[in-house]
Structure 1
Amino acid sequence: MPPNLTGYYRFVSQENMDSYLRALDINVVLRKLVCLLKPDKEIIHTGNHMVIRTITSLRDYVMDFDLGVQFEEDLGPVDGRKCQTTVCWEGDQLVCEQLGEKRNRGWRHWLEGDQLHLVRRGPAQLAKSQL
């Protein structure tokens, strides 16, 4: 049975974010801004439904979805793109695959103790965060 990720997770660290954003063709100003942010996460996990709220000092980003069901994700606040997104479990890891303009894009979340880990996947780049 996969873990229940419900909780509030405070930002600890991130690695390789600038390279990841550069591979996604994010402009230099937005890349620098994103690298300065220290996003927290709030997750509400009820059965097969999840709400993941990424909280920053500038704006929040909310994903509201059912596990295993593809939906259109509007990444306008992040990078101006839309994609078809599916989130499901692979063992104890929550895995997101985003299909659209950029290939091989998505992320993985998993718990180690009380810390939530996040690895973002983009075109030939990875970015890691610890919350």
Structure 2
Amino acid sequence: MPASICGTWEMISNVNFDGYMIALGISPATRKIALKLKHRKVVEQKGDVYVVKTMSTLRNYTISFRLDEEFHEFTKGLDERNCKSLVTWQDNKLVCMQQGEKKNRGWAHWVEDDKLHLELYCEDQVCKQVFKKNA
């Protein structure tokens, strides 16, 4: 069984976020602001439903899903796109594949060395973020 990703997590590193946002088509002005933000993740599991909240001083984004069930996702406040998303456990990673306008889009969360790792990918860009759990 994979390590629990549930909890509140504070960002400690953010590599290639700009490249990822460029691949999503996010405007230069928004990217400039977004690069200065420190994100907080809150991950909860309520029965068979996962809720992942990404919060910052600029905007918040919440997604809820059941594993292995495709769902419609509108990335409101991010790149404002509709996609079909599917989240599964793959080994020790919670992986989401998003099908829509952008190719090779999705993310993966996993816990390693008491830290939450997140890879965000779109087209040929990969952003790697690391979060430390709040005490």
Partner of 2:42: 42
Cα pair 2:4 2:111 within 8 Å, conserved:
no
- Measured against aligned partners, the alpha-carbon deviations of 1:4-48 in whole angstroms (never above 9, x if no partner) come to 221000110100111111122211111112211111100002453
Contact 1:108 1:120 in 2 (8 A): yes
The 2-side partners of 1:96 and 1:117 are apart by 14
RMSD value, Cα: 1.2
Indicate conservation of the 8 Å contact 2:16/2:128, yes or no.
yes
Structure 1 SS opposite 2:110: strand
Q: Number of aligned residue pairs: give it.
A: 131
Is residue 5–residue 45 contact of structure 1 (8 Å, CA) maintained in 2? no
In the other structure, the counterpart of 1:109 is 109
Find the aligned partners of 2:98 and 2:111 in 1 and give their Cα distance: 22
Q: 1: distance between equivalents of 2:23 and 2:60?
A: 23
Q: Which runs of 5+ in 2 are unaligned?
A: none
The CA distance in 1 between the partners of 2:82 and 2:35, in whole Å, is 22
- Letter of the 2:4 counterpart: N
1:2 is matched with which residue? 2
* Residue identity opposite 2:69 in structure 1: V
Which amino acid in the other structure matches residue 12 of structure 1?
A: I
Identity of aligned residues (%): 38
Q: Structure 2 counterpart of 1:112, which letter?
A: E
Structure 1 SS opposite 2:68: coil
Q: Which position in structure 1 is the counterpart of 2:52?
A: 52
Q: CA deviation at 1:76?
A: 2.1
Structure with larger RCO (C-alpha < 8 A, sep 6+): 2
Task: Report the TM-score, using the length of structure 1 for normalisation.
Answer: 0.94
